[in-house]
A = this chain, B = another copy of it.
């Protein structure tokens, strides 16, 4: 059991991340924190963000340094394999409840959504 270490920077990053309603990029976070910690380094922000994500205290949305492209226009879901970092089409039927929920949302004018399941793909699971 490794206790999570604390540092002024890490705590500030985590606190700031929790207190914001939006989901900033590392750079946006850095820009904000820099106002009170002028010596903060962007590398520290990156390091901590990834560490937090690994420790299960944070999430990386839109992870991966590279964008992934898709040509299938028929609505469908995706499957992200945590092991091989590939994205597959999920063989999962559309869920109408999601559209219904989007319709009922007053917070924004939603016209689509993307659903990405995460786990270990068949191929990687069989590699043991």
Cα-based distance from A115 to B45 in the complex (angstroms) = 25
25 sampled A-B residue pairs with Cβ under 8 A = A17-B71, A22-B88, A23-B70, A23-B78, A26-B69, A53-B69, A58-B71, A59-B70, A61-B67, A61-B69, A61-B114, A61-B116, A62-B67, A65-B67, A79-B105, A90-B108, A92-B101, A95-B95, A97-B98, A108-B125, A109-B120, A111-B118, A111-B119, A113-B115, A114-B116
* Most B Cβ at <10 Å: residue of A25, A88, A95: A25
Asked if B120 and A72 make an inter-chain contact with CB atoms under 8 angstroms apart, the answer reads no
**In this assembly, does A29 line the interface, its C-beta being within 8 Å of a C-beta of chain B?**
yes
Chain B: CB-nearest residue to A25: B66
Interface of A is mostly: mixed
Q: In the bound complex, do residue A121 and residue B97 qualify as a contact, i.e. CB atoms below 8 Å apart?
A: no
Contact assessment for B122 and A108 in the assembled complex, using a CB-CB cutoff below 8 Å: yes
* Contact surface of A with B, Cβ cutoff 8 Å: 14, 17-18, 21-27, 29, 49, 52-53, 56-73, 78-79, 81, 86-93, 95, 97-98, 101-102, 104-105, 107-122, 125
- The reply to whether B70 and A58 contact each other, CB–CB distance below 8 Å, is yes
When chains A and B are docked, how far (Å) is the Cα of A115 from the Cα of B99? 12
B122 touches A107 (CB 8 A): yes
